[in-house]
């Protein structure tokens, strides 16, 4: 390795690849994160290689020359270039090739050189050891063949994907995959489902850390630049599927660059054809894959590190002019984005641009921000927070503009962590093998939990930048990568993402994260949903609300699911119709969109799955846990919108969903809630999990709204039939879930009778509520005592025969079963979650403003792979500004809900004093939709085992 600083010089058509550090920081042999630049064209045909000298040919018809196989390394820590001379046989000189990182290796394929198309061989630059070495990977069978202008990325930390390009005859649209976990190595041509990109070349592709590949732009067979973007993902059943990405790109382009920073795809530069390039603010665009929108590009500012061609010389705006280029290359290290070289008109560029994505940086720890601030201070002494500038190794300049929220801000990197990296090794036989991952201080900022990471990203990117009143930025801790272990080590990329579970990691102790993510809402303002981090200990006294913004941004395109799902089955129809986190609105007409036959098909499919599952589910982290929903479908959509949705466009590929019951009753949209959850269960049977609550029983939901809703929205005959069919399905629901054998989730509690998990496992299903034992009663109906000072068993205000259990019972149960945490629902709590028994039990409630009166927040728990529990909150929406005159349908709907809840007041919110006066629910057979026999039976049930509280329900037959 030549230790002298030796920059690549002017070039285009090269690749720039981020490679993670090797070894332990501070130990001998440690090598920090690097950027590897390979190949490219160093001259234009008939033109000098020097940058800054325009070609007489102008932009149109430029032909590249001077193809090279040089390797240059940029040390991110020292900010210096070095030229590498690896051992082994190098690839032939080439440009318009592809490269991607596989741990500490760079895999290179294809391209075009002086002699024409390069061979299709896979060349690997191994950077694991101190001395880099070239290898050629032996691949059996046919493959993509020689091509150029294509894309390649590592998907799901396992599959090497090559897509499109030109074989010298025509643009292509084929998809090839090489499984790095299967030997001998072999290319396999895929036929993904869904609508994919047309044949094109000069597109870009980048893989999100969770395994979603985004391909955008390109030039089609008619030389027309494309603006579309497509996502490619692998389902856990092995199917690959294309889907059109949401939103509309601000400009078509090709020969551009794109790179992911967390869930944001940064697209820079590009050509339009005919000698034109992407101009003005469209030269940089950001696709927020979590929010499903292209971000305002005016918030993105880039600045040069070095270079001879300046914005001032161009006489244009720096942010626009610097990114106005094509045939350049980009890479990301943590929240930093690097761009090198390219072509602007007839000028080859040699500048290195670096920018920081502050919106993505919101998901880093305070330590990461401190590092970024320190890095920014390296640009110029006295550099002020909230400002950004660009520097040169020879000259230092500053920019006076203040950084806008969500902007991309320059900063010299200081030991930044790598995004989505993996670690493998290469043997002397040129085979890809597993290798250990280092533990570096820079990476330790990243690791919290992969599930928490994805959700924090989704929340932060869907919202504006959060602020503390004192001006200090408090950011969520960065979570672990998809394969990170609690020790900070990274498991090999050769493990299937869908097989990672308890056998692949050794989880540490369960602990509650010290901060919770909060999204609140008000009608005023247009800030789009502010997000902040609050200390867990602040929630008891937390009363302020954060501006949520107007629903204008909620009209962002949600085409992905609608395009990728044909309405050929009921589950797909339900998902396409209802799973619209930003676009769902209550139906103007209350008529439900499914008929009873379709609901029967849906229930049949779901029942077959539930009947094959045990009474106690055995689940793995990462996982999101939801509490009571009670027909408040709008809250479910808000939670999906803020913290990720179970879809190909969301996070279903790498995080499971667990719902703790009480899907129906009390809310206005029980039918939407239960049908969507059942459809998701059918579509993702191994990823979406439902257990039973006390309202999943005919005797209960006949009284508390679900039966009436079915009749009111489907007609009496079909509504009653639907209500009966769904309740038969409820009898099959699992009763509890065990996560990583350390956390048990249930609806109610352990009561007086449950001492061992085996007691729940032994309950045979299907089981109607009235046939249940005392174990089932305790499981679905019991509650913790008022606080940790009240021990033992106490009578439950819900009714005779029900109990509350103290913290001593919680500790006894956990000790008996080697558990560390109980997560239960069943009670409304003001902050959406509440700790009990010194944190060994958490009550979770996901519906906000329960029954329109509680004004409580809703929450979910996100359990990371390292078993860190992160609460994620939403606050109640304020009342809509409407009137019966302007919104008669809404008025009728609200009146219907208010009358029902006024006649059946809910159990008092946990921690609030109970009302002293008894309220009596008077039901006639007509108003309840029951005949007298059913009302007598309901009365018997309500006044014995199932009474919710003495002030809540008493039934009289008139």
Q: Which residues pair with 705 in a beta bridge?
A: none
Helix (H, G, I), strand (E, B) or coil at 154: strand
Q: How far apart are CA 277 and CA 268, in angstroms?
A: 11
Strands (E), 466-605: 511-512, 515-519, 531-535
- Dihedral in degrees, nearest 10, Cα atoms 666, 671, 673, 677: 140
Residue carrying structure tokens 């009921």: 570
DSSP 8-state code for residue 209:
T
695 a catalytic residue? yes
Half-sphere exposure of 175 (CA within 13 A, CB side): 21
Residue 452 near residue 459 (C-beta atoms within 8 A):
no
Find all residues with CB under 8 Å of 676, minimum gap 6, and list them.
574, 575, 578, 579, 633, 636
Q: Exposure of 44 by Cβ count < 10 A (0-12 exposed, 13-18 middle, 19+ buried)?
A: buried
Find all residues with CB under 8 Å of 941, minimum gap 6, and list them.
699, 770
Q: Which residues pair with 189 in a beta bridge?
A: 176
Q: Which structure tokens are listed for 266?
A: 């940064």
Q: Exposure of 26 by Cβ count < 10 A (0-12 exposed, 13-18 middle, 19+ buried)?
A: exposed
Angle at 935 between CA 933 and CA 938, to 5 degrees: 110
- Dihedral in degrees, nearest 10, Cα atoms 515, 516, 520, 525: 40
Helix (H, G, I), strand (E, B) or coil at 33: coil
> Is-cis flag, bond preceding 7, omega within 30?
no
DSSP 8-state code for residue 180:
T
Give 345-361 as a DSSP string: TTEEEEEEEEEEEHHHH
Give 274-333 as a DSSP string: TTEE--GGGGEEEEETTTTEEE-GGGB--EEEE-SS-HHHHTS-HHHHHH--BS-EEEEE
Q: How far apart are CA 480 and CA 631, in angstroms?
A: 34
DSSP 8-state code for residue 584:
-
DSSP 8-state code for residue 539:
G
Give 767-799 as a DSSP string: --GGG--HHHHHHHH-EE-SSTT--SEEE-TT-
CA-CA distances (angstroms) from residue 187 to 158, 171, 627?
13, 20, 45
Residue 275: phi and psi, rounded to 5, are: 80, 5
DSSP 8-state code for residue 906:
P
Helix (H, G, I), strand (E, B) or coil at 574: helix
150, 328, 669, 695: the active-site residue = 695
Q: How far apart are CA 610 and CA 604, in angstroms?
A: 10
SS (H, E, C) 438-475: CCCHHHHCCCCCHHHHHHHHHHHHCCCCCCCCCCCCCC
CA-CA distances (angstroms) from residue 476 to 287, 360, 448?
22, 11, 10
Q: Which structure tokens are listed for 175?
A: 């998809």
Q: How far apart are CA 753 and CA 730, in angstroms?
A: 23
Active site (catalytic) residues: 695
């Amino acid at each position: 390795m030549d230790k002298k600083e030796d920059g690549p010089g002017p070039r285009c058509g090269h690749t720039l690849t981020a490679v993670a550090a090797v070894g332990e920081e501070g130990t001998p042999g440690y090598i920090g994160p690097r950027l590897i630049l390979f190949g490219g064209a160093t001259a234009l045909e008939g033109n000098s290689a020097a940058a800054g000298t325009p070609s007489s040919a102008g932009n149109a018809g430029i032909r590249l020359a001077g193809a090279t196989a040089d390797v240059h390394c940029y040390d991110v820590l020292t900010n210096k270039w070095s030229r590498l001379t690896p051992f082994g046989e190098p690839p032939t000189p080439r440009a318009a090739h592809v490269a991607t990182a596989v741990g500490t290796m760079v895999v290179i394929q294809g391209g075009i050189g002086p002699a024409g198309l390069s061979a299709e061989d896979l060349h690997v630059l191994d950077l694991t050891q101190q001395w880099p070495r070239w290898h050629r990977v032996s691949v059996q069978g046919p493959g993509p063949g020689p091509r150029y202008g294509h894309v390649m990325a590592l998907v799901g930390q396992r599959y090497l994907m090559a897509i499109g390009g030109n074989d010298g005859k025509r643009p292509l649209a084929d998809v090839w995959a090489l499984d790095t976990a299967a030997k001998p190595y072999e290319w396999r041509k895929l036929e993904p489902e869904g609508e994919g990109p047309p044949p094109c070349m000069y597109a870009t592709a980048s893989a999100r850390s969770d395994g979603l590949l985004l391909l955008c732009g390109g030039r089609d067979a008619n030389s027309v630049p494309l603006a579309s973007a497509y996502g490619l993902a692998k389902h856990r059943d092995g199917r690959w599927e294309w889907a059109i990405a949401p939103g509309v790109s601000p400009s078509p382009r090709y020969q551009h660059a794109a790179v992911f920073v967390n869930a944001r795809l940064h697209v820079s530069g590009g050509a339009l054809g005919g000698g034109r390039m992407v101009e003005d603010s469209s030269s940089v665009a950001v696709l927020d894959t979590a929010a499903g929108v292209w971000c305002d590009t005016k918030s993105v500012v880039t600045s040069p590190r070095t270079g001879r061609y300046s914005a001032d010389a161009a006489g244009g705006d720096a942010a626009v002019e610097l990114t106005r280029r094509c045939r350049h290359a980009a890479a990301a290290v943590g929240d930093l984005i690097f761009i090198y070289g390219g072509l602007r008109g007839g000028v080859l560029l040699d500048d290195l641009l670096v920018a920081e994505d502050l919106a993505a940086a919101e998901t880093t720890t305070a330590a990461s921000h401190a590092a970024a601030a320190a890095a920014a201070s390296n640009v110029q002494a006295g550099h002020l927070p909230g400002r950004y500038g660009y520097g040169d190794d020879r000259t230092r300049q500053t920019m006076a503009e203040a950084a806008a929220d969500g902007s991309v801000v320059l900063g010299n990197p200081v030991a930044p962590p790598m995004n989505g990296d993996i670690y493998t090794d290469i043997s002397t036989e040129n085979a890809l093998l597993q290798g250990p991952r280092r533990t570096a201080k820079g990476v330790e900022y990243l690791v919290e939990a992969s599930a928490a990471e994805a959700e924090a990203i989704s929340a932060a990117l869907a919202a504006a930048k959060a602020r503390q009143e004192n001006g200090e930025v408090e950011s969520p801790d960065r979570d672990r990568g998809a394969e990170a272990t609690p020790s900070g080590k990274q498991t090999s990329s050769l493990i299937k993402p869908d097989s990672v579970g308890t056998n692949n990691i050794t989880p540490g102790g369960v602990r509650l994260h010290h901060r919770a993510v909060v999204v609140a809402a008000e009608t005023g303002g247009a800030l789009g949903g502010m997000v902040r981090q609050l200390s867990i200990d602040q929630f008891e006294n937390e009363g302020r609300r954060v501006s949520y913004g107007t629903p204008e941004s909620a009209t962002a395109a949600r085409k992905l699911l609608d395009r990728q799902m044909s309405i050929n089955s009921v589950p797909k129809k339900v998902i396409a119709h209802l799973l619209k986190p930003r676009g769902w609105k209550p139906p103007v007409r209350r008529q439900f969109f499914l008929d009873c036959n379709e609901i029967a098909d849906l229930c049949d499919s779901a029942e077959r799955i539930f009947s094959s599952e045990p009474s106690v589910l055995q689940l793995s982290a990462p996982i999101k846990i939801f509490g009571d929903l009670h027909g408040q479908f709008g809250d479910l959509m808000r939670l999906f919108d803020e913290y990720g949705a179970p879809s190909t466009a969301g996070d279903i590929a790498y995080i499971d969903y667990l719902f703790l019951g009480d899907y129906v009753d009390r809310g206005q949209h029980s039918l939407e809630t239960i049908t969507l959850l059942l459809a998701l269960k059918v579509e993702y049977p191994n990823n979406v999990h439902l257990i039973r609550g006390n309202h999943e029983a005919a005797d209960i939901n006949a009284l508390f709204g679900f039966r009436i809703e079915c009749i009111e929205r489907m007609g009496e005959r079909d509504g009653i039939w639907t209500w009966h069919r769904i309740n038969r399905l409820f009898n099959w629901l699992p009763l509890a879930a065990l996560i990583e054998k350390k956390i048990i989730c249930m609806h109610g509690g352990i009561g007086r009778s449950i001492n061992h998990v085996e007691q729940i496992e032994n309950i045979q299903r299907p089981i109607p509520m009235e046939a249940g034992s005392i174990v089932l009663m305790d499981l679905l109906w019991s509650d913790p005592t008022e606080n940790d000072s009240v021990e033992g068993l106490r009578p439950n205000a819900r009714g005779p025969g029900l109990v509350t259990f103290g913290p001593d019972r919680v500790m006894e149960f956990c000790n008996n079963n080697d558990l560390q945490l109980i997560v239960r629902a069943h009670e409304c709590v003001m902050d959406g979650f509440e700790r009990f028994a010194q944190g060994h039990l958490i009550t979770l409630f996901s519906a906000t403003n329960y029954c329109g009166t509680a004004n409580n927040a809703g929450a979910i728990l996100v359990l990371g792979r390292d078993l860190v529990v992160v609460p994620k909150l939403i606050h109640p929406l304020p009342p809509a500004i409407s009137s019966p005159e302007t919104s008669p349908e809404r008025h009728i709907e609200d009146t219907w809900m208010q009358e029902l809840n006024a006649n059946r007041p809910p159990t008092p919110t946990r921690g609030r004093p109970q009302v002293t006066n008894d309220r009596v629910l008077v039901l006639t057979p007509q108003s309840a939709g029951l005949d007298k026999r059913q009302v007598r039976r309901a009365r018997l049930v309500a006044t014995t085992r199932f009474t919710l509280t003495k002030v809540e329900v008493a039934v009289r037959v008139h």
